Amino acid sequence: MTKNSFISVISHEENEENRGSVEFQVFRFTNRIRRLTSHLELNKKDYSSQRGLRKILGKRQRLLAYLSKKNRVRYKELISQLNIRELKPR
């Protein structure tokens, strides 16, 4: 899924491009996580990138927890579109 197609999906739902929406932020973090993960497979000792990856993972986890509390249906749709695992219940 490319960024433009995801933006168009969001814009059709809300009738405007809302790049501050939780869905769009999670989408951007997911793309950065995938890119950093592939980078770290080649550069195993890049500890700065490992730290950045952990920070991005935490931000995405907090956003997903927020979305799961506020709107469970949107949360389920988002994790199915992005092929990411569901959060562990606390």
State pLDDT tens for residues 9-43.
554 455 457 889 999 999 999 999 999 999 999 99
Domain ranges of the chain: 20-80
Element (H, E) at 35: helix 22-42
**pTM of the model as a whole:** 0.79
Show the tokens assigned to 36.
Answer: 């950093």
- pLDDT above 90: residue 44: yes
Q: Which residues of 48-80 are buried (b: 16+ CB within 10 A; e: fewer)?
A: eeeeebeebeeebeebbeebbeeeeeebeebbe
SS3 content of the chain, % helix, strand, coil (to 5): 75, 0, 25
Please give the pLDDT value at position 88. Answer: 82
The residue among 85, 84, 87 whose CA lies nearest residue 64 is 87
CATH placement of domain 20-80 = 1.10.287.10
